[in-house]
Amino acid sequence: MTTHLDPPGIQWRRVSSKYIAAELLSGVLFWGVVIAVALVLYLLVDVEWAIWVVWGALAFLVLGAIFTARQVRAYGYQLRDDDLVVRRGIMFLRVVSVPYGRMQLVDINRGPLMRWLGLSELKFVTAAAASAVVIPGLPEFEAEALRDRLVELAESRRAGL
């Protein structure tokens, strides 16, 4: 998916499609708990309005399921000559470009669900909090290779603050 906000001539590398499953699963877990609590309230404690919470949660769950796949496919990154470009979002599209030399550190995070699926999240931290360069849903080996590559590139293009 290429839109006109993308820089010209860019070839996005996508995140793993397993990440769709991870997102779906975490959505089901979260809303499942909400629905369960609301059902208990409605059936056992006789709280009238709890049924609306159930319907609302179901609606969110379905909407989330519809959009998750597209959202995950909207993530993309590319290592250009001097900078890393990351895009995300369909409704709220954001493309960020960060020169390698601005790297302060690279984080790799793995939650329990992600570890089970063999996925990692890579976070490129600069001195500006607003940068927010995050690439979720990378296969473990790819995340580690990317991290090492980024550190190497940053070292060769060191810049100050």
Partner 1 sequence: MSEELPQQLSEGRRSATAASLADGEWHRLHRASPLLKGGIALIAILGVVITNMRERLIQAFVPQYTEGGDPVDFVFEGGLVGWALLAVAIVLVALLIGFWASWRMHTFRITEEVVEVRSGIVFRTHRRARLDRIQGINIARPFIPRLFGAARLEISQAGQDANVQLAYLGSTAADELRREILRLASGTREQREARIADASGGSLLETRVGEFLAPELDPDEAPPESIVRIGIGRLIGSVLLSTSTLVLIGGAVAIIVVVITTDEWGFLFGLVPAVIGFGSYWIQRFTRTLRYSIAGTRDGVRVGYGLLSTTNETLPPGRIHSVVVDQPLLWRAAGWWEIKVNRASQATAQNASAAVANTTILPVGDHQDVMNVLRLLLPDLTDLDSVRLIEAGMAPHGRSGDGFVNSPRRAAWLRWFSWRRNGFAVTMDAFFLRRGAVWRELVIVPAPRVQSTSIEQGPLGRMTRLATVHLHTVAGPITARLGAVDVDAASAFFAETAGLLVDAAARDRSHRWGASDSSAESDTDSPVTPMSSADSAATPAEAHVEPRREEGPGL
Q: Which parts of this chain interact with partner 1 (CB under 8 A)?
A: 4-5, 7-8, 80, 82-83, 85, 91-99, 101-102, 126-131, 133, 152, 155-161
Minimum separation from the CB atom of position 8 to partner 1 (A)? 7
Based on CB atoms, which residue is closest to partner 1, 29 or 90? 90
Minimum separation from the CB atom of position 161 to partner 1 (A)? 4
Of 157, 120, 114, nearest to 142 by C-alpha is 120
How many Cα atoms occupy the beta-carbon half-sphere of 34 within 13 Å? 17
Based on CB atoms, which residue is closest to partner 1, 26 or 78? 78
Rounded Cα–Cα distance for residues 19 and 135 (Å): 11
Based on CB atoms, which residue is closest to partner 1, 34 or 96? 96
Minimum separation from the CB atom of position 64 to partner 1 (A)? 18
Minimum separation from the CB atom of position 125 to partner 1 (A)? 10
- Return the structure tokens found at 114: 């992600």
Place of tokens 């059902």: 39
How far are the Cα atoms of 80, 86, 113, 134 from residue 95, in angstroms, in the given order? 14, 6, 27, 11
**DSSP for 45-91?**
S--TTHHHHHHHHHHHHHHHHHHHHHHHHH-EEEE-SSEEEEEE-SS
Based on CB atoms, which residue is closest to partner 1, 57 or 98? 98
Based on CB atoms, which residue is closest to partner 1, 6 or 142? 6
CB atoms within 10 A of CB 126: 17
Minimum separation from the CB atom of position 87 to partner 1 (A)? 9
